[in-house]
Amino acid sequence: MAIYISLSVYGGKFAPIINEKVKIPEQISVKDLLNMLQKENRMPQKFGKGEGFTEFLVLLNGYNVMISPGLETVLKDSDRVVVLPAMAGG
């Protein structure tokens, strides 16, 4: 059985902006979703040599999943995931 999440991905020159409802398998984690998007070239461009998606801000239902509860969080039906590229200022 599949579940549906709302997914938004902003920025990146190699990836279009995504703002859609997405069908995903059950028991998929945030990290699994990001890996899937990366394989499909739908993630924003990385700006450095960071590992494990640390160069992105990933929000799950409005909370920064990079801090807590973490990328291993399993997604549930109707979750909202937003991915933003790293920003640099000067």
Q: Go through the domains of the chain in sequence order and give each one's CATH number.
A: 2-85 (3.10.20.30)
Prediction pTM value: 0.84
The tens digit of pLDDT for each residue in 49-61 reads: 556 677 788 999 9
Q: What angle do CA 21, 27, 61 make, to 5 degrees?
A: 50
The tens digit of pLDDT for each residue in 22-77 reads: 999 999 999 999 999 888 888 876 655 556 677 788 999 999 998 888 999 999 99
13, 38, 39 from 64: Cα distances, Å: 24, 19, 23
Query: What pLDDT shows up at residue 90?
Result: 43
